[in-house]
Amino acid sequence: MRIAGAALNQIPFDWDNNLRTIRTAIEQAKAAGVELLCLPELCLTGYGCEDLFLSDWLPAEALARLQDIRPWTDGICVCVGLPVRLQHRTYNTAAVLRDGQILGFAAKQFLANDGVHYEPRFFVAWPAGGETTVEFGGETWPLGDLTFEHRGVRFGFEICEDAWRADDMRPACRLRGKVDMIVNPSASHFAMSKTDSRYQLVLKASRNFHCTYLYANLLGNEAGRIIYDGEILVARNGHLLKRNQLLSFREVDLEWVDVDFGYDLAPAAEIVPLPAPDEYKELNQAMSLALFDYLRKARSRGFVLSLSGGADSCFCAVGVAEMVRLGVEELGLEEFKRRSGRFDGAPVAVQQGAGGEATQTLQDTPAAPGAPAPPALSDNQQLVNALLTCAYQGTINSSDDTFESAKELADSLGARFFNWTIDEEVAGYVGKISGALGRELAWETDDLALQNIQARVRAPGIWLLANVQNCLLLTTSNRSEASVGYCTMDGDTAGSISPIAGVDKAFVKQWLRWAETELGYGALRHVNALQPTAELRPLAANQTDERDLMPYPLLNRIERLAFYERLAPAAVLAQLVAETPAADAGQLRTYVRRFYTLWSRNQWKRERYAPSFHLDDYNVDPRSWLRFPILSGGFGAELAAL
């Protein structure tokens, strides 16, 4: 039998988009002679509908829309994910359709309730062995712990989290010997190096339960924060039969393979491991796809970036350029332009605000009279020029090094680049408050306030530039800064999305060195030669991030021990001492106290961060991975006892 999985790039309750990709997948499968097709978990509604799953209308609408799919299944068996609501309870199901008929609904038995997943809030787990019925339009179908048969092949289901449970608990343990194949429609989030875990999971399941295992994941940045890699895996008795390239820019990624169910393939003696993952490449592909999907799904005209010349903003700028390079490489120039929605020629945008609709003319900035003609740009640079606008907003405390870093990088990417200073605006605010207080503000007495006002004064102008162009404003804070609040609210945190807020600063620096040497972004040599600095204090102070905080690798280690391993402060300190016996234990104690104090003090900042992408195995976003009280005891007793 020819079986297939299709990764789909969906949008929450965008019925037109979701039905179109489902139909495209079915048409491609039929053209390829596929007999059974698995589509991803909740692909009809999208996985990220959040509390709408608790409504009566969304599952009802999904069931009504499922009827539209029925005629497309003539001559093929298709598994479609959707929510079904019965007696005020919502179940996560996969419908099986064949020849225009609905055969039944398999229901998910285990719900993901860790990390970025909160499924028990929305869904009810289906009990093993249970069965009921669903009614719609005068027809009735079975729902529950079901198995099916297609052309002599018996199959059952594990839906995503079902497969991550122990072998003596998961549905597969009850399907062993009863089915020839297990089908797994999934919405498994991307994280660097995670694909190896998923690969091992599928291959071991196929061997341990003596079956063919068909796995299909969602694809892309579906709803804003979570990225899906679109992985498709087919394994049999521990042997890999099919695996696709991950993180495709295509809306539909179909992969098929022929399986001879009449041949008893001997179980694999060992699972052949995947090559070690390249996390720099993985992050690059994931962030590029996430930016592309966010751009088009937000119906934006591009990105605006306050390019300081430092590591974080340079990372974001290169991220947009890589979005273009990788997207064009896979889709082709014209298809990339069409899919982005930026190059439709529409000169006017109508934006809805509190005062009603506002029509806005969008046009490129003309060259100044007498200005030299810009150098010829490559096709990709022209796309970057249309999609990315950068501005260097200098002060008296800014250095020539960061300006050169920003300008040369922007020019090399093809981005539009502006340069202005904000000293006049800063002086205006400082003078106003000095007058109100009846004293001069000085670095000796008002250090933090004088740093923050510079960062905040940068926000209105860059926001205005983004609004005028109907673009998304990128904010550039990383996870390390978010952990300790090393940022200015309404300043460098201002923005529409925060692409790297889930990535630690040490990794940012390593990635930039990789991008310079492996991707050929030579202009990164400037930032790669600089120590990270906010450049908010006078230049004579030689301000650096690590002098203000602690070494970034140590900060990241404390963060992981504290909130990924969930250790108490004393246990974190003991672990650090054990790992670095040559280090000064007193200094380590100081750093641990500093981290926890700053962490507790700055939860309110993390609550207000722009939406960020989940890229690593954890993040500090309270709206996705890590919740913490805004007001707390701040580990006072625990730190005093160190």
Q: Which tens digit of pLDDT belongs to each residue from 501-537?
A: 999 999 999 999 999 999 999 999 999 998 877 667 7
Spatial CB neighbours of 275, under 8 Å, sequence gap ≥ 6 = none
For residue 349, is pLDDT > 90? Answer: no
Q: Which tens digit of pLDDT belongs to each residue from 467-494?
A: 999 999 999 999 999 999 999 999 889 9
For residue 568, is pLDDT > 90? Answer: yes
pLDDT for res 597: 97
Q: What is the mean pLDDT of residues 544-548?
A: 80
By three-state DSSP, how is residue 44 classified?
A: coil
Q: Are 496 and 466 in contact (CB under 8 A)?
A: yes
Spatial CB neighbours of 370, under 8 Å, sequence gap ≥ 6 = none
Nearest to 299 by CA among 416, 470, 465: 470
Across 236-266, b (16+ Cβ under 10 Å) vs e yields bbbbbbbbbebbbbbbbbbbbbebebeeebe
Q: What one-character DSSP code corresponds to residue 232? A: E
Give 278-284's long-range contacts (Cβ < 8 A, gap of 24+): 279/192, 279/193, 279/507, 280/510, 280/511, 280/514, 280/515, 280/518, 282/192, 282/193, 282/195, 282/247, 283/192, 283/503, 283/507, 283/511, 283/615, 284/319, 284/322, 284/326, 284/511, 284/515, 284/519
Tell me the DSSP string of 429-495. Answer: HHHHHHHHHTS---HHHHHHHHHHHHHHHHHHHHHHHHHHTT-EEE----HHHHHHT-S-TTTTT-S
For residue 366, is pLDDT > 90? Answer: no
For residue 382, is pLDDT > 80? Answer: yes
Give CA–CA dist 191/400, Å, rounded: 37
pLDDT for res 73: 98
For residue 197, is pLDDT > 80? Answer: yes
By three-state DSSP, how is residue 305 classified?
A: strand
By three-state DSSP, how is residue 20 classified?
A: helix
Nearest to 525 by CA among 403, 381, 405: 405
- Percent of the residues in the chain that have a pLDDT greater than 90, as a whole number: 90
Q: What is the mean pLDDT of residues 64-72?
A: 98
For residue 330, is pLDDT > 80? Answer: yes
pLDDT for res 352: 58
Nearest to 515 by CA among 244, 328, 325, 336: 325
Q: What is the mean pLDDT of residues 1-22?
A: 98
Tell me the one-letter amino acid at 183.
V
Q: Which tens digit of pLDDT belongs to each residue from 262-318?
A: 999 999 999 999 999 999 999 999 999 999 999 999 999 999 999 999 999 999 999
* pTM of the predicted protein model: 0.94
pLDDT for res 524: 97
pLDDT for res 354: 53
Instruction: Determine which of 140-149, 189-198, 362-371, 557-566 has the lowest per-residue pLDDT on average.
Output: 362-371
Q: What is the mean pLDDT of residues 215-243?
A: 98
Q: Which tens digit of pLDDT belongs to each residue from 115-172?
A: 999 999 999 999 999 999 999 999 999 999 999 999 999 999 999 999 999 999 999 9
Q: Mean pLDDT for the chain?
A: 94
Q: Which residues pair with 359 in a beta bridge?
A: 350
Cβ atoms < 10 Å from Cβ of 527? 28
Give CA–CA dist 617/71, Å, rounded: 41
Q: What one-character DSSP code corresponds to residue 503? A: S
Considering just the CA atoms, what is the radius of gyration of the chain in Å?
27
pLDDT for res 504: 95
For residue 602, is pLDDT > 80? Answer: yes
Q: What is the mean pLDDT of residues 596-617?
A: 96
pLDDT for res 615: 96
Cβ atoms < 10 Å from Cβ of 579? 11
Angle between helices 585-601 and 569-579 (to 10 degrees): 140
For residue 431, is pLDDT > 90? Answer: yes
- Give residue 557's Cα distance to chain centre: 22
pLDDT for res 363: 55
Q: What is the mean pLDDT of residues 234-250?
A: 97
Could you tell me the pLDDT band of residue 538, with boundaries at 50, 70 and 90?
Answer: confident
